């Protein structure tokens, strides 16, 4: 399986390290030809407005939206969650999104930069171990569509969701040494989704 990391802005390097720790050899994706060469993609944390603008400039916005709609497994952390969401609240005027995930997210929902925080939360992957979650100007999910499963919440706000081939977290597992979410994406989301396609 070829896994790419969208490398326009944000914490690309951290996702690459986490994926390598999970046994895959990721590539960076900046151009449509690089997107065409990967089977699955990670959308990093960063600034969703900047990533969307750069994606448009690099000619990636539409090809990426098409691949997502066609079933490419994608994991988005923080800004990546926003980019996967079908609907964004507190969006910048004209902010674009790749979409595909039937959720409504609220940007910067937990407050401003000074309100960034870390917390140990439950992640519903069958393990009872808590996971260290780093929230940085994070969104939360305000509406989930009927095929969307909530995997983690903070104060009853969903912060990790999955719908078939799409996984999104408001927090940044790439900033911790615990690669459980990346492993979950590779083993439980991407591999089964790609097997179905073949």
Chain residues in the site for ligand GLN (CB under 6 A): 45-48, 78-79, 82, 107-108, 136-137
CB 76 within 8 A of CB 97: no
Q: Least separation, in Å, of the C-beta of 108 and ligand GLN? A: 5
Cβ within 8 Å of residue 108, ≥6 positions away:
90, 137, 138, 139
174 is catalytic: yes
Are the beta carbons of 145 and 120 closer than 8 angstroms? no
Nearer to ligand GLN, 22 or 79 (CB): 79
- Helix (H) / strand (E) element for 132: namely strand 130-135
- Phi and psi angles of residue 8, each rounded to the nearest 5 degrees, phi first: -95, -35
- Residue of 14, 174, 179, 182 marked catalytic: 174
Among this protein's residues, is 47 annotated catalytic? no
3-state DSSP assignment of residue 162: strand
- Which lies closer to ligand GLN via its Cβ, residue 96 or residue 137? 137
State yes or no: is 165 an active-site residue.
Answer: no
Assigned token pair, 124: 């519903």
Nearest-approach distance from CB 161 to ligand GLN, in angstroms? 16
Q: Catalytic one among 78, 165, 179, 182?
A: 78
Q: Please say which residue, 137 or 179, places its beta carbon nearer to ligand GLN.
A: 137
CB of 37 to ligand GLN, least distance (A): 25
Closer CB to ligand GLN, 83 or 193, in the complex: 83
Q: Rounded to an integer, what distance in angstroms lies between the CA atom of residue 160 and that of residue 181?
A: 10
Which amino acids are annotated catalytic?
A: 78, 172, 174
């Amino acid at each position: 399986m070829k896994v790419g990391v969208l490398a326009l802005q944000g914490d690309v390097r951290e996702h690459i390290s986490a994926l390598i720790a999970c046994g895959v050899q990721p590539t960076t994706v900046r151009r449509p030809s690089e997107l065409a060469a990967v089977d699955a993609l990670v959308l990093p944390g960063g600034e969703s407005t900047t990533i969307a603008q750069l994606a448009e400039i690099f000619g990636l916005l539409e090809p990426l939206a098409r691949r997502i709609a066609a079933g490419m497994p994608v994991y988005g952390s923080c800004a990546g969650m926003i980019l996967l969401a079908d609907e964004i609240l507190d969006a910048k005027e004209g902010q674009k999104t790749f979409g595909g995930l039937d959720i409504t997210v609220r940007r910067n929902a937990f407050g401003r930069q000074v309100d960034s925080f870390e917390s140990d939360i439950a992640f519903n992957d069958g393990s009872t171990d808590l996971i260290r979650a780093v929230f940085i100007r994070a969104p939360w999910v305000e509406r989930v569509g009927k095929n969307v499963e909530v995997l983690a919440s903070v104060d009853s706000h969903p912060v990790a969701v999955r719908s078939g081939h799409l996984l999104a977290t408001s927090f940044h597992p790439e900033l911790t040494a615990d690669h459980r979410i990346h492993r979950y994406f590779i083993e439980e989301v991407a591999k089964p989704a790609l097997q179905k396609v073949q």
